[in-house]
Amino acid sequence: MYPDKIKKRALELIRDHSVRQVYTQLAKEFSAAKLPDEDTIKRWEDEAGAQALRERQEAYVKEHKQAHFAQLVDIANMLLGEELGSLLNVKGETYSLIEEGRWVDKDKSELTTMIESNIDYICSILTSWEFFDMFVKHLEHENEEIKQDFYKYIKDKPLEFVNLVRTLAQRKVFKGKCPVCEEWE
């Protein structure tokens, strides 16, 4: 093992010197110390390069993943809107939500219609690709029934659907992969 200060100095010098020059310079600066040979200096350079590359890749993925999740959260919030965001299941198949400032009751099929019309709205603001191929791809990793038949799930279980979307909007973390994030790890 070599003292850290020698390794640190070698990595500083290697940026604009050859391995041979680094060795010569180290010999001048650290005359009393045991010096690394040229192979060791070369290996340090390679390791430092690989480490820097890894760090850049990690920073890239972290930044893009944050932006991707933020967009998915935006879609989840658009899908809920204020009305579905306030949804409560009062009893049985009666649901209540706040519409224009007051509580109104909705039945199950009305909920389904609201969800569907919010989907149409999102697809008109964004693209249907962003909704179905990106957002829904992540939803499918949360629920097997959604994976089997997205619209059937909304029709059969609108409350469960709203609750799932609400959970994701708060969790801000999405499982699985979509075409946007499948390459990142």
List residues near Zn ion by CB under 5 A.
Answer: 178, 180-181
Query: Is the Cβ of residue 10 or residue 139 nearer to Zn ion in the bound state?
Result: 139
Chain centroid offset of residue 166 CA: 17
Query: Is the Cβ of residue 137 or residue 157 nearer to Zn ion in the bound state?
Result: 137
Query: Is the Cβ of residue 115 or residue 181 nearer to Zn ion in the bound state?
Result: 181
The alpha helices in the chain, defined as continuous H runs, are 4-13, 19-29, 38-85, 108-125, 128, 136-140, 144-148, 150-156, 158-171
Helices 19-29 and 38-85, axial angle in degrees (round to 10): 100
Q: How many CB atoms lie within 10 A of CB 11?
A: 16
Q: How far apart are CA 122 and CA 54, in angstroms?
A: 37
Look up tokens 């059937």; give the residue: 152
Report which DSSP code applies to 18. -
Query: Is the Cβ of residue 83 or residue 140 nearer to Zn ion in the bound state?
Result: 140
Query: Is the Cβ of residue 108 or residue 177 nearer to Zn ion in the bound state?
Result: 177
Report which DSSP code applies to 149. -
**Cβ 182 to Zn ion, closest distance in Å?**
7
Look up tokens 């009751």; give the residue: 105
**Cβ 135 to Zn ion, closest distance in Å?**
8
**Cβ 75 to Zn ion, closest distance in Å?**
11
Q: Which two tokens stand for residue 14?
A: 């290697």
**Cβ 40 to Zn ion, closest distance in Å?**
43
Q: How far apart are CA 106 and CA 132, in angstroms?
A: 26
**Cβ 87 to Zn ion, closest distance in Å?**
26
**Cβ 151 to Zn ion, closest distance in Å?**
21
Query: Is the Cβ of residue 17 or residue 177 nearer to Zn ion in the bound state?
Result: 177
